[in-house]
Amino acid sequence: MYLEIKAPCASKTDGLLESIVSDANERASSSVDSNFITYCSRCTCPTALQACEFKDMVPYSSEDRCDSASGFDAYSSFTGGIFAENITIEGNQNIQTLALGDAVAISGFLEVRSNPFLDKINLDNLARIGMHVSIANNADALLRVHAQCADASDVDFIRELVVNEAFRASSVMTYDSHTCYSRQCRCTTYEQSCRVPTTINSRYSYCSTQDCMSSIEASYLEPYASTDVCTHSIMDENTGVFNGTLVVDEASYQYTSIYGYTNTRSLDRSYLARLSEISGDLILARSAFAMYTNSYFQNMYNNDDENPFVNLTAIGG
């Protein structure tokens, strides 16, 4: 029998068992017997493209596979928005824009070096890189980086993106300017009750005409500002943890109906009462909450709005 294992990126340096078996005692009694282990390999951008994203990537060399690129779907619950490869883009004479903003994580390393015309890197949704990051010697005098910043007054993308301290120490990023992105989310300003989604890219539909012959799909949460990203901000069904900042304001309370009237929506208690923790901030506008309270009294028999945050015990921001 021939057994081939495809292992996580970090396994190549840390060891397979060290990467996948977290408990030291269990690891001591574990073993792996296989014919061949393939670690996540390296991807790169084709030299003919001026703009490159994940789906465009190809194997870095004949020894690499880059399996994740062609079928990568950042909004699939199967991948969870994680690109499970290493990335090296080096000496590309054509590339100007690197658009990696779809993924929430890159399992391996990110190396972007010596690309003389590269002046824009978009990482606006990226929360973590599994190994090191090296962005240097590109069009550094023009290069603008779009990425997540927890503190706009103290920007350090290496600290934000590289979770492992050892890899952080070997990382480098040089650029001219940046745009800070965050994960402030609020309920969409359309129909339905305000709820926190539990699956990536969770959507609902609402009538776009009075006869309801056509409809529009919308996400349950929308970015609060133009520099916010909410595609992967969800509540974990098991733990009740919401991985972003939740905003409750007037805009998320009122919406204009298809008949042209200003309507109000209620809080969906069945979802919000499951929140145990918000990893970012919780921003509550007093006037909006006053309107929600009024909505509760109008709908008190269905209990939709009664104590919507009753189980919330921790706020990270």
DSSP letters for 151-205: -TTS--HHHHHB-SHHHHHT-EE--SEEEEEB-EEEE-SSSS-B---SSTT-EEE
Q: Which two tokens stand for residue 114?
A: 């010596």
What's the rounded mean pLDDT across residues 147-154? Answer: 84
pLDDT score, position 292: 59
* C-alpha separations of 224 from 184, 230, 271 in Å: 5, 9, 20
pLDDT score, position 189: 65
Phi, psi of 88 (to 5 degrees): -130, 120
Q: Where are the domains of the chain?
A: 1-39, 41-181, 184-315
Whether the pLDDT of residue 168 is over 80: the answer is yes
Give the pTM: 0.76
Please name the residues in contact with 100: beta carbons below 8 A apart, sequence gap of 6 or more: 53, 54, 83, 87, 106, 110, 121, 122, 123, 126
% of the chain surpassing 90 pLDDT: 34
Q: Which two tokens stand for residue 207?
A: 């009538």
CA distance 303 to 273: 11
Residue 277, amino acid: E
Q: Contact, 136 vs 172, CB < 8 A?
A: yes
pLDDT tens sequence across 73-116: 888 767 778 898 899 999 999 999 999 998 999 988 999 999 99
Whether the pLDDT of residue 183 is over 80: the answer is yes
pLDDT score, position 126: 93
Q: Which two tokens stand for residue 242?
A: 């919401």
Please name the residues in contact with 11: beta carbons below 8 A apart, sequence gap of 6 or more: 18, 19, 20, 37, 39
pLDDT score, position 191: 66
The DSSP bridge pattern shows strands 42-44 and 245-248 to be unpaired
CA distance 8 to 82: 12
Whether the pLDDT of residue 305 is over 70: the answer is no
CA distance 223 to 234: 13
pLDDT tens sequence across 187-221: 876 666 778 888 888 888 888 888 888 888 888 88
User: pLDDT class for 35, splitting at 50, 70, 90?
Assistant: low
Q: Give the chain's mean pLDDT.
A: 83
Task: Give the SS3 label for residue 202.
Answer: coil
